[in-house]
Amino acid sequence: QVHLVQSGAEVKKPGASVKVSCKASGYTFNNYGVSWLRQAPGQGLEWMGWINLYNGKTIYAQKFQGRLSLTANTSATTVFMELTSLISDDTAVYFCARDRMEYSGPNSFDPWGQGTQVIVSS
């Protein structure tokens, strides 16, 4: 079974950074890209960026350019999302999600991780 398991909730102060992990299992890790998305309280879904786990290339939504870094530890089949210079508006549940198809680029996402709550508060 394909699973994505994310790290636990985080509470951060404004200006700090957060790093969330997403451990993948049940499939050939390098063959599928992974996106990160977020959902602010009571709001819809927002795509943040994508990492190609075959060659490490990334694509970031313009909104997050300069603040977002997606990396991976291939041997640990784990993807990381680091967001810097946090503000209160970054308070959200953050999800990792695998590309539905291998070698396809970000397209549709299946499955998703369970989500990680990040709270930014002074």
Partner 1 sequence: EIVLTQSPATLSLSPGETATLSCRASQMISDYFAWYQQKPGQAPRLLIYAASKRAPGIPARFSGSGSGTDFTLTIHSLEPEDFAVYYCQQRSSWPPLITFGGGTKVEVK
9 Cβ neighbours under 8 A, 6+ residues apart: 116, 117, 118, 119
Residues 22-81 that bind partner 1 (CB under 8 A): 35, 44-47, 50, 59, 61
Q: Under the criterion CB under 8 A, does residue 17 sit at the interface with partner 1?
A: no
Distance in Å, CB of 15 to partner 1, minimum: 28
Question: Does residue number 87 form part of the binding site for partner 1 (CB under 8 A)?
Answer: no
105: contact with partner 1 by CB under 8 A: yes
> Going along the chain, which residue ranges are E strands?
3-6, 10-12, 18-25, 34-39, 45-51, 58-60, 68-73, 78-83, 92-99, 109-112, 116-120
Give the residues lining the site for partner 1 (CB under 8 A).
35, 44-47, 50, 59, 61, 95, 97, 100, 105-115
